[in-house]
């Protein structure tokens, strides 16, 4: 929050600072996203384990299929998001917009 507040008041260094911090920002954002997905997967697995340990759900019941489907869907979505974020197509677009000196291009 502090870095964002200071960059608002010191606009001269913003472009170069953003260019230096961007790779770390992307890495930390994707790392945090991966940890959130891992936490969600662990929660799904824990819920299913508790259901099966109390004998309220068998190993091949509909609840197991739903939890497994949710887990696989979540992993696939996470993979798509991360691949999209690190895709070279989008990096070229960001670099092109960031270093453009034409003010008409940035304002539109």
Q: Could you report the per-residue pLDDT of 2-12, keeping only the tens digit for each?
A: 877 776 676 66
Q: Could you report the per-residue pLDDT of 48-67, keeping only the tens digit for each?
A: 888 888 877 777 788 888 88
Sorted by where each begins, the domain ranges of the chain are: 1-106
Mean of pLDDT over the chain: 78
- What is the pLDDT averaged over residues 59-84? 90
Instruction: Note the pLDDT of residue 32.
Output: 96
Reply yes or no on whether the pLDDT at 102 is more than 60: no
Distance CA 20, CA 15 (A): 9
The residue ranking higher by pLDDT, 44 or 14, is 44
């Amino acid at each position: 929050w502090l870095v964002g507040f200071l960059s608002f008041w010191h606009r001269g260094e913003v472009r170069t600072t953003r260019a230096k911090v961007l790779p770390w920002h992307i890495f930390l954002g994707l790392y945090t996203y991966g940890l959130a997905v891992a936490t969600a997967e662990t929660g799904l697995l824990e819920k299913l384990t508790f259901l099966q340990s109390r004998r309220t759900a068998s190993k091949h019941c509909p609840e197991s299929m739903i939890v497994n489907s949710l887990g696989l869907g979540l992993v696939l979505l996470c993979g798509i998001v991360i691949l999209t974020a690190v895709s070279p197509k989008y990096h070229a677009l960001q670099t092109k917009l960031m270093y453009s000196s034409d003010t008409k291009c940035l304002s539109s």
